[in-house]
Amino acid sequence: MLVSKEQLHNMEHALGIADYMLSKRSKYHRHGKCYIKSYRNYFCAGQRDLDSWRDLVDKGLANTWNKFNSTYFNVSDKGIEYLQEVQNYIIKFED
């Protein structure tokens, strides 16, 4: 499956795990594996991001909905599995 660097970045941004969003406590290593804590799963898309996100929806990697005259996306379970595989980390969600 072909996913661009921009799409990977947007998926990480939606999950709050893009590099610039991580604190020292959000990323840790245990038993040779990298874990990243996610605290969210949404992205309010502007006009320039809509086509990229719609492509992810078509691939089953994201979901979409409209609210308050804005288009929102989130990373689907399949998208989370894909990110973990290609980025070689495990995503943990905060309770």
Helix count (H) and strand count (E) of the chain? 3, 6
C-alpha closest to that of 74 among 42, 37, 33: 42
pLDDT tens over the chain, length 95 residues:
789 999 999 999 999 988 766 666 688 889 999 999 998 999 999 999 999 999 999 999 999 999 999 999 999 999 999 999 999 999 998 76
66, two tokens: 């409209």
pLDDT at res. 56: 98
On whether the CB atoms of residues 71 and 64 are closer than 8 A, the answer is yes
pTM: 0.89
pLDDT at res. 1: 77
pLDDT at res. 94: 77
